[in-house]
């Protein structure tokens, strides 16, 4: 199991403000709000996260390592991602270190999708565009990456063998009740 990392003090201090600003619908670089059910209490938690978008794919990058939201998302497998004023139910799949390493390499490469995210990755994940492929894979073991898909993409076969949209999960049902600024920042140890 990877080492459990901690969020730097300044990030913990700014998290409530960032959560409020993102909840109001402001777009702040690669930041988005993730609402996920806590693995211990079952209560929903909302926290700002680093969203990487490239070629129609979306990933959440755990810049600070195995923190609470990572463990909660890993356990729940789903959440609500809010970017601007658009909350969207998502299914999250943790990438294997090799796939996550490729995502990290792309994020800090010569044409990063977000310069701010690339700067954070260089500083806190300790990678550069010159880091070897093996180095990115090693860092991905300590800094998980989750691929996100809208829950509407998850298809189930119905009784006739036809594909149909998946039944809404508990977070999907809460989607209508949650508006901008929902939840509270996840800074606890759940």
**Residue 152: which domain range?**
9-175
- Residue 41 in any domain: the answer is yes
Question: Tens-of-pLDDT digits for all 190 residues of the chain?
Answer: 445 567 777 777 778 888 899 999 888 889 999 999 999 999 999 999 999 999 999 999 999 999 999 999 999 999 999 998 889 999 999 999 999 999 999 999 888 888 888 888 898 889 999 999 999 999 999 999 999 999 864 333 233 334 334 444 555 445 445 544 444 333 333 4
Total number of domains constituting the chain: 1
Q: For residue 159, is it within any domain?
A: yes
d(CA 181, CA 166): 27
Q: Examine residue 62 and state whether it is found in any structural domain, yes or no.
A: yes
Q: Is 53 a domain residue?
A: yes
Cβ-based neighbour number of residue 101 at 10 Å: 25
> Is residue 115 situated within a structural domain?
yes
What is the per-residue pLDDT for 110?
83
Provide the total of helices (H) and of strands (E) in the chain, helices listed first: 6, 8
The CATH number of whichever domain residue 114 belongs to comes to 2.30.110.10
Q: Does 21 reside within a domain?
A: yes
Residue 92 domain-assigned? yes
What's residue 10's pLDDT? 73
The pLDDT, as a whole number, for residue 17 is 87
Task: Give the whole-angstrom CA distance, residue 1 versus residue 3.
Answer: 7
Q: How many residues does the chain have?
A: 190
Residue at 180 is within a domain: no
């Amino acid at each position: 199991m990877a080492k459990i990392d901690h969020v730097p003090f300044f990030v913990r201090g700014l998290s409530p403000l960032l959560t409020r600003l993102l909840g109001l619908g402001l777009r702040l670089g690669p930041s988005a709000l993730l609402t996920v059910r806590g693995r211990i209490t079952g209560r929903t938690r909302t926290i700002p996260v680093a969203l990487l978008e490239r070629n129609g794919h979306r990933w959440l990058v755990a810049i600070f390592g195995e923190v609470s939201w990572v463990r909660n998302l890993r356990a729940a497998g789903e959440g609500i991602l809010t970017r601007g004023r658009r909350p969207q139910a998502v299914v999250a799949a943790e990438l294997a270190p090799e796939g996550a390493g490729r995502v990290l390499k792309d994020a800090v490469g010569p044409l990063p999708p977000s310069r701010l995210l690339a700067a954070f990755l260089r500083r806190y994940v300790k990678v550069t565009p010159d880091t070897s492929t093996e180095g990115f894979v090693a860092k991905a073991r300590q800094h998980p990456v989750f691929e996100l898909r809208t829950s509407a993409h998850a298809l189930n076969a119905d009784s006739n063998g036809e594909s149909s949209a998946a039944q809404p999960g508990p977070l999907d049902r809460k989607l209508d009740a949650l508006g901008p600024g929902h939840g509270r920042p996840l800074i606890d140890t759940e």
